[in-house]
């Protein structure tokens, strides 16, 4: 079975603060993929990052960074110097071979981030 837990349902920060969104996952597979998606108020889903289980290097993309730690089954997402435009729901997601392929992506419940000006 696969499961994604985002324990923070809502976070509010003041603009320019750093914020970390937590994600903990469960899988029996050794090969799996982790994702983060952003859902702004307009409703669409925006792909942010994909990580495979063999690549534990942390990644930075502008103000965004991701910390993948297999030892704690976590894939946390940090926004540095947050901006109002970062206000959105952020979903962590996982795909593994448990259902016969990697096509099914299981999403966490999402963390709603509000950045206050």
Partner 1 sequence: EPEVTQTPSHQVTQMGQEVILRCVPISNHLYFYWYRQILGQKVEFLVSFYNNEISEKSEIFDDQFSVERPDGSNFTLKIRSTKLEDSAMYFCASSVSSGPRGSEAFFGQGTRLTVV
Positions that interact with partner 1 (CB under 8 A): 31, 33, 35, 37, 42-47, 50, 52, 91, 93, 95, 99-110
Q: 58 with 7: CB under 8 angstroms? A: no
> Cβ of residue 110: shortest distance to partner 1, in angstroms?
6
Using alpha carbons, select from 54, 14, 60 the residue that is nearest to residue 34: 54
- State the residue for tokens 């940090």: 78
Q: Based on CB atoms, which residue is closest to partner 1, 11 or 15?
A: 11
Min separation Cβ 1 and partner 1, Å? 13
Task: Extract the tokens encoding 11.
Answer: 């976070």
Q: Which is nearer to partner 1, 13 or 105 (CB)?
A: 105
62 or 100: whose CB is closer to partner 1? 100
Contact 49, 110 (CB under 8 A): no
């Amino acid at each position: 079975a696969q499961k994604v837990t985002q324990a923070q349902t809502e976070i509010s920060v003041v603009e320019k603060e750093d914020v970390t969104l937590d994600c903990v996952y469960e899988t029996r597979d050794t090969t799996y993929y982790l994702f983060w998606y952003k859902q702004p108020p307009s409703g669409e889903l925006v792909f942010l990052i994909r990580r495979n289980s063999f690549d534990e290097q942390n990644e930075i993309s502008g103000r965004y960074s991701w910390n993948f730690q297999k030892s704690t089954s976590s894939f946390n997402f940090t926004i540095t110097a947050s901006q109002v435009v970062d206000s959105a729901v952020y979903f962590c997601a996982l795909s593994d071979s448990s259902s016969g392929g990697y096509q099914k992506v299981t999403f966490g419940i999402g963390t709603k981030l509000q950045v206050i000006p």
